[in-house]
Each structure stands twice: as structure tokens, then as C-alpha cells.
Amino acid sequence: MTAQPTVPLDPAPDLRATPGPPRHLAIIMDGNGRWAKERGLPRIRGHQAGAHAVRMVTEACCELGIEYLTVYAFSTENWKRPAEEVMALFGLLEHFIAAELPTLMENNVQLQAIGRLRELPINAQCALEDAIRKTSTNTGLTLVLALNYSGRAELEDAIREVCQDVAAGRLLPEVFTQEHLRNHLYTRAWPDPDLLIRTSGEMRLSNFLLWQLSYTELYVTPKLWPDFGKADLLEAIQEFHRRQRRYGGI
Ligand code: IPE
Ligand code: IPE
Ligand code: MG
């Protein structure tokens, strides 16, 4: 019998060698359409390749010991796209959830979602609810899908709830603070992101986590999302470690 190799055959970088990963990583996964266009393929093929990148990056976050990964998958503004693309995206979401559930369970990942979820197609809602329930007792990485999400809609929903508290006499306007508002955000259970990655080079937030990104470190890469892999994530985290976070201090 031949001896087992003593060195790993996989040349991928060892992510565990990185010191102190960010607790919460947020990603604007952009560039699927351009990735497909470059190859003369329909846009949905770019989204399919993008789903594969989500799988790779989620796995890398587990290896790294990142606690929360929030990914922008569909914005409230993305309904402006052709109905055919929107429907294909939700079909892909359903397929992705079903295909990934065993791996999420195996990797102890808890799935969560933020956004106006009740406006999603019913099949997507059911698939999502089912996976959220089945992974609810997992204690590793929390993977948050932002779906039919926008920062302004989130603030609108949170402020509406605060107004309801005031109208019902549960909260006096004089004692209202930003903490009350924070406690009504979709993300109230989690810390704010430490690092935001945006792929495909656009220098904008596109209505993502407007409140939560106040002191988040920003990292924009020209790589298109389907091309973004473990080595790119490691590079972003290394850059994050070079940043000095001052929070307004000196
Ligand atoms: C991001 O890729 C995915 C979604 C917004 C759903 P895009 O579809 O925006 O890709 P580009 O920006 O057109 O290349
Ligand atoms: C942001 O990407 C939304 C998601 C990644 C889901 P967009 O492609 O929609 O953003 P804009 O239109 O370039 O600002
Ligand atoms: Mg885009």
C-alpha cells in the first residue's frame, strides 16, 4: 500500500492562518450580468455562476471563523429588471436553497433573511422559511440573505414600528433614542458589519444597510462576483487588517 501524502493536495490558501477575521462581513455581489455578457451568455448564466461563488465564499467564511455573512442578493430596486430575469432569479434562489441545505447543515450554518420577504414569490418564501427553520439551531456562521431588501425600506419599516409604539403609549417621544430605532431594524440581533466588499468596481452602496454601515470598512474590487473566490476574500481581509479604525477618535 502506498503511503498517504503528508502535504495537502489542494493549493488553496490556508484561511485559518489569517489573524482575527472580521466578525461580520457584508457583500454587495455585483457583476453577474457583465460576467455573462463577456462570455456571450444570457444574464441568468451569470447569476448561476454567482450562486456558485456564494457557496465558495460561505465555505471560506466557515473556515475563517467569521460569525456573520450578509449578502445582498436582490434589492427592492431590482424589480425594475425584465420580468424574465426576476423570475429566473427567484427560481435560482429556490434551487440554491434546496441544493445547499445539506451543506449548510453539515457546516453548522444558520440561514437567515432580511428584507420585505412577504413580497417574494410564494415558492421562494416557502423554501426560505423551511431552510431557516431547519438551520435555526445551528451555531456556526450565520448566513443572512438580503432579499427584496433596501436600507431605506428597512428604515421605513423600523420607523413605522416606532410610531406604533408611540401611538400605543408604549414609548414617549422625549425618551426616544437611536437605540430604540436600532431595536426595530431587521438586523437588530447582530453586530454591524466590520467589512463591506463590493465586487465589479462600482463605488456606491446601492441602498444596502444604510444604517449599519456607518463605521464599516469599505473594500471595492474590480473582480466580477462570479470570479470572486477564496483567494480574493483573503486579500480583502488582509487589507481590512491594514486599516486603522478610529470611530471618530484619534
Ligand atoms: C448582481 O449582478 C446580482 C443582482 C443584482 C441580482 P448584476 O445582475 O447586477 O450584474 P451587472 O451589474 O449587470 O453586471
Ligand atoms: C446591488 O446591485 C444589488 C445587489 C447586488 C442585489 P445593482 O446592480 O442592483 O446596483 P446598481 O444598480 O448598479 O446600483
Ligand atoms: Mg449590478
Give me 209's grid cell. Answer: 444597510
Written as one string, the DSSP assignment of 158-192 is: HHHHHHHHHHTTSS-GGG--HHHHHTTSTTTTSPP
First and final CA of the chain: distance in angstroms? 63
Quote the CA–CA distance of 136 and 130 in Å, as a whole number. Answer: 10
DSSP 23: S
pLDDT digits (tens, 9 = 90+) for 72-115: 999 999 999 999 999 999 999 999 999 999 999 999 999 999 99
Take atom 11 of ligand 2 and give the residue whose Cα is closest. Answer: 206
| C-alpha cell of residue 65 | 471563523
How high is the pLDDT of residue 21? Answer: 87
How many angstroms is it from 33 CA to the middle of ligand 2? 11
Do 46 and 33 meet the contact criterion of CB atoms below 8 Å apart?
Answer: yes
Q: Please name the amino acid found at residue 94.
A: E
Residue among 99, 128, 112, 107 at smallest CA distance from 58: 107
How confident is the model at residue 247, as a pLDDT?
95
Q: Residue 74: which H helix or E strand, with range?
A: strand 68-75
Total-model pTM: 0.93
Domains of the chain in sequence order: 22-150+192-242 (3.40.1180.10)
Confidence of residue 7 (pLDDT cuts 50, 70, 90): very low
Q: Percentage of the chain surpassing pLDDT 90?
A: 92
Residue 30 appears among annotated catalytic residues: yes
Q: Is 78 in the pocket of ligand 1 (CB under 6 A)?
A: yes
Mean pLDDT calculated for residue range 43-68: 98
Q: 207 CB under 6 A from ligand 2?
A: no
Amino acid at residue number 125: Q
Any ligand 1 atom below 6 A from CB of 29: yes
How many Å apart are CA 233 and CA 70, to the nearest integer?
A: 14
The rounded Å distance from CA 4 to ligand 3 centre is: 46
Q: Is the pLDDT of residue 3 over 90?
A: no
Which residue, judged by its Cα, is nearest atom 8 of ligand 2?
A: 30
Q: What is the pLDDT of residues 118-160, one digit of tens each?
A: 999 999 999 999 999 999 999 999 999 999 999 999 999 999 9
**Is the per-residue pLDDT at 8 higher than 50?**
no
- Residues with Cβ within 8 Å of 208's Cβ and at least 6 positions away in sequence, in order, are 26, 28, 72, 75, 146, 149, 150, 151, 196
Res 11 pLDDT > 70: no
What are the pLDDT digits (tens) for 173-194? 999 999 999 999 999 999 999 9
CB 60 within 8 A of CB 233: yes
pLDDT grade for 10, boundaries at 50, 70 and 90: very low
Per-residue pLDDT at 2: 41
Ligand with the closest atom to the CA of 72: 2
Note the ligand closest to the C-alpha atom of 43: 1
Q: How far apart are CA 36 and CA 50, in angstroms?
A: 10
Instruction: Sort 133 into a burial class: Cβ within 10 Å, 0-12 / 13-18 / 19+.
Output: exposed
- The reply to whether ligand 2 has any atom less than 6 angstroms from the CB of 79 is no
Q: Which of 28, 34, 74, 207 to mutate to test the pocket of ligand 1 (most atoms within 8 A of CB)?
A: 34
In whole angstroms, how far apart are CA 216 and each of 191, 200, 229? 11, 19, 22
What pLDDT digit, counting tens, does each position of 209-220 carry?
Answer: 999 999 999 999
pLDDT value of position 14 = 54
Identified catalytic residue from 14, 30, 130, 157: 30
Give 183's DSSP letter.
T
